[in-house]
Each structure stands twice: as C-alpha cells, then as structure tokens.
Amino acid sequence: MSDTSAGSCCTHNNHAQVDAEGRKDLLAPQAEDLAECPVMTGSTVVKADAEAAGLFRDHEGTRYYFCCAACGPLFDADPAKYAAAAA
C-alpha cells in the first residue's frame, strides 16, 4: 500500500492503528470495519463511511466499497474486472 495519493482519483486516509509513540490507537477502525477499494487498490475505505455516502456496489453477492465517487462508475463499466482484482 502506498501512503501517497499520486495517481489516485482521490485522496485517502491511511488508517493506522498505532500512534507515533507505538501505542495502540483504541479509536482507530478495526480491520473488519475497513475494506480496500477495488478500483483504486491500496486505498483504504471505512465501510460505514462508504455506505453512508453511497460509495458501494453489490455484485454477485459481494459488497464492494469505494474510496471516492469516481470509482463507482468505473466499477459499473466492468464489475467482473474489478471483482476479480479484489479477490
């Protein structure tokens, strides 16, 4: 995963779970609360935030979460391509 947004359709937050002093961040999202955008791989998505913003699609029984509004139409154009890349 990259910490930069270069080449990305959007900026994204890196949701680190350890602070600068090495302590666990108890307020950070847990792994099960996060997903990777299938269009912009490497972009971490908070599932609840994506759902609230409508940044998700269901395809063949699986829910895919997106990092920004631009990713939804790209996914819609070729869902099998992005679903296979996310697997």
Task: Give residue-wise pLDDT tens across range 50-79.
Answer: 999 999 999 999 999 999 999 999 999 999
CA distance 68 to 54: 10
Share of the chain above pLDDT 70, in %: 76
Q: What pLDDT score was predicted for residue 31?
A: 84
Is residue 44 within 8 Å of residue 14, measured between CB atoms? yes
Cα 80 to its chain centre, rounded Å, is: 17
Show the DSSP H helices in 1-87 as ranges.
Answer: 47-53, 71-77, 79-86
CA dihedral sign, ordered 72, 1, 7, 68: positive
pLDDT band, residue 28 (cuts 50/70/90): confident
- Distant-in-sequence, close-in-space partners of 33: CB < 8 Å, separation ≥ 6: 46, 47, 48
**Confidence (pTM):** 0.69
CA distance 82 to 87: 9
Share of the chain above pLDDT 90, in %: 60
